Amino acid sequence: MNEKEESPKVKFNQKDYVKCAEDVIKYLEKEEFSVITNPKNSKRGSKDTLTTSAIRNILSSTSEIYDMVRSQGPEAVRDKLAYLKVKLIYQSGRNAAVKRFVKVSKLIQALDRLERYYQKPDEKAMIILFCRYMEALVAYFKYYGGKD
């Protein structure tokens, strides 16, 4: 993990979300989608790697939210968005590479930002944007050689 190199700027908006997703994945690709977790444990240390299954697990929750918000409206998904945040935090605690992915992609901040749209006209559009951002992250992860 190269702490000196600044992580990509994430602009959570309709215009830039696809480019931001690509920038996030390209940045993580430089780290080979891995984080050394215990350098003192052995000569090379142990390593957590971000896998397709780990982020597809997150995407499956996001896809369910996407379908529900389109058919039932934002009121129907508020609990699921809160649970997704808990799920991201839990998965981040289990795997340092997932934690790095969540941090660099700013998924927690994006979910927090959705709360500001509660009962506002743009709430549904912002939830859909979040879901599309997550889809773009998974697509670019696979495109740039993410492991299964």
pLDDT digits (tens, 9 = 90+) for 26-82: 999 998 888 877 656 545 567 899 998 889 899 999 999 999 999 999 999 999 999
Q: What is the pTM of this model?
A: 0.87
Report CA Rg, the chain: 16
Sign of CA dihedral 115, 55, 50, 95: positive
Q: Which residue has the higher pLDDT, 110 or 46?
A: 110
What single letter denotes the amino acid at residue 123? E
What share of the chain has pLDDT > 90, as a percent?
64
Residue 92 has pLDDT above 70, yes or no: yes
Cα 65 from Cα 14, distance rounded (Å): 18
* DSSP secondary structure code for residue 7 in this structure: P
Confidence of residue 141 (pLDDT cuts 50, 70, 90): very high
